[in-house]
Amino acid sequence: MVEERVVRQALQSVLHPKLGKSLIDIGLISDVSIQGESVKVTLALKSYRSPLRSFLTSQIEKAVGALPGVASVQVEIAIMSREESERLFPHPPLKGVEKVTRFLAVASGKGGVGKTTVAVNVALALARQGCKVGLLDADIYGPSVPMMLGVTETLDQVNGMILPLEKYGLRIVSLGMTAGQNDAFIWRGPLVSKMLHNLLDQVQWGELDYLVIDLPPGTGDPSIAIAQALPHCLVLMVTTPQEVALADVRRSIGLFHKTGQTIIGLVENMSYFLPTPSAQPIEIFGHGGGEKLSQETGIPLLGRVPIELELRQGGDSGIPLMVSAPESLAAVVFQEIGRQILEINAASV
């Protein structure tokens, strides 16, 4: 039977192509186990989709398979912790967001649940509570922040840095402000990642207490790109009361946990409808989804936003509810969500 020491020695010859060092020396071989003539090597990677996965696997199989007494080699993948990944591959600082204190991504597993509505109104709620706030529309497939905030201007550049537009006290950037707003963008994974990287690196966000990031639906490349570029980004998860929406949100929560992100809270949107202020609430989309998810995951439910005609009208007309009707029930809920975000963050400092 081959000895573990011999296997590890053979693995010294397998180099990480980017770092130029042996996988053993940089700690990427997290385990070697031997049973008879079968050897199992555990390789730690940043993600299952790492482009190096098949290359390194075949190099390991070759190096270990050539040893006498080895009949089969199995390479198992383990995902590195965020700390390990940062130690090995430190990110160059993103210039544009150097002076941003906190990042808050608004996400959901599902489309159309109100992420952008929540992102815009929570950003305004934080601004009303005295914070300096930026809003990045990271929905590169269907940027809707410009429409919701009634922004029609395009972005300017100074010394190679993009300047955010200021409206309603927010600094705003969206790809919808760089091209025709009806353009449908079709980006591939690596391009998405580069594009979002640029929106953080090459936009002069300046000093901000919060940069709120409106993510596209789902667990696709943009969410992963933001998680990788901003490992300390907090996540606000939007759901609706329906059971079908919950399944997608659970999947999305799983992804953010896997990438080491902290989900700061849940927001249940379109929770109920009040035909008149004193009427019984009508629960059009069912009941209790947010609460159920909160109990299941331990993530606090920060608010239940009612269905309000003015909220939709505000979105369509470019004047968000926090501006057009700050005393409305939904606006009060947004204000309360903002207050809790500040409280949670103050407690975690």
Ligand X SMILES: Nc1ncnc2c1ncn2[C@@H]1O[C@H](COP(=O)(O)OP(=O)(O)OP(=O)(O)O)[C@@H](O)[C@H]1O
Residues of this chain that interact with ligand X (CB under 6 A) are 108, 111-117, 139, 142, 144, 217, 269-270, 305, 307-308, 311-312, 315, 330
**Closest CB to ligand X among residues 102, 115:** 115
Q: Which listed option, Mg ion, ligand X, none, makes contact with residue 308 (CB within 5 to 8 Å by class)?
A: ligand X
List CB contacts of 272: < 8 A, sequence separation 6 or more. 281, 282, 283, 284, 304, 306, 307
Q: With contact defined as beta carbons under 8 Å apart, do 175 and 249 qualify? A: no
Measured from each CB, the residue nearest to Mg ion is 116
- Least separation in angstroms between CB 139 and Mg ion: 5
Site string for Mg ion, 99-138 (x = CB under 5 A): ----------------xx----------------------
- Least separation in angstroms between CB 170 and Mg ion: 16
Q: Which listed option, Mg ion, ligand X, none, makes contact with residue 171 (CB within 5 to 8 Å by class)?
A: none
Q: Which listed option, Mg ion, ligand X, none, makes contact with residue 311 (CB within 5 to 8 Å by class)?
A: ligand X
Here the tokens at position 112 are: 């159309």
**Closest CB to Mg ion among residues 7, 120:** 120
Q: Which listed option, ligand X, Mg ion, none, makes contact with residue 239 (CB within 5 to 8 Å by class)?
A: none
- Least separation in angstroms between CB 214 and Mg ion: 6
**Closest CB to Mg ion among residues 45, 135:** 135
The closest alpha carbon to 148, from 174, 101, 179, 116, belongs to 116
- Least separation in angstroms between CB 328 and ligand X: 11
Report the DSSP beta bridge partners of residue 2. Answer: none
Q: Which listed option, ligand X, Mg ion, none, makes contact with residue 269 (CB within 5 to 8 Å by class)?
A: ligand X
Cα–Cα separations (whole angstroms), residue 293 to 94, 184, 244, 298, 329: 34, 34, 12, 8, 23
- Least separation in angstroms between CB 120 and ligand X: 8
Measured from each CB, the residue nearest to ligand X is 315
**Closest CB to Mg ion among residues 118, 126:** 118
Q: Which listed option, ligand X, Mg ion, none, makes contact with residue 307 (CB within 5 to 8 Å by class)?
A: ligand X
How many angstroms separate the CA atoms of 304 and 120, rounded? 16
- Least separation in angstroms between CB 273 and ligand X: 8
**Closest CB to ligand X among residues 113, 199:** 113
* Residue 215: other Cβ atoms inside 10 A: 30
How many angstroms separate the CA atoms of 245 and 131, rounded? 32
- Least separation in angstroms between CB 308 and ligand X: 5
**Closest CB to Mg ion among residues 118, 234:** 118
**Closest CB to Mg ion among residues 315, 338:** 315
**Closest CB to ligand X among residues 85, 116:** 116
Q: Which listed option, ligand X, Mg ion, none, makes contact with residue 59 (CB within 5 to 8 Å by class)?
A: none
- Least separation in angstroms between CB 207 and Mg ion: 27
- Least separation in angstroms between CB 144 and Mg ion: 5
**Closest CB to ligand X among residues 45, 138:** 138
Residues that bind Mg ion (CB under 5 A): 115-116
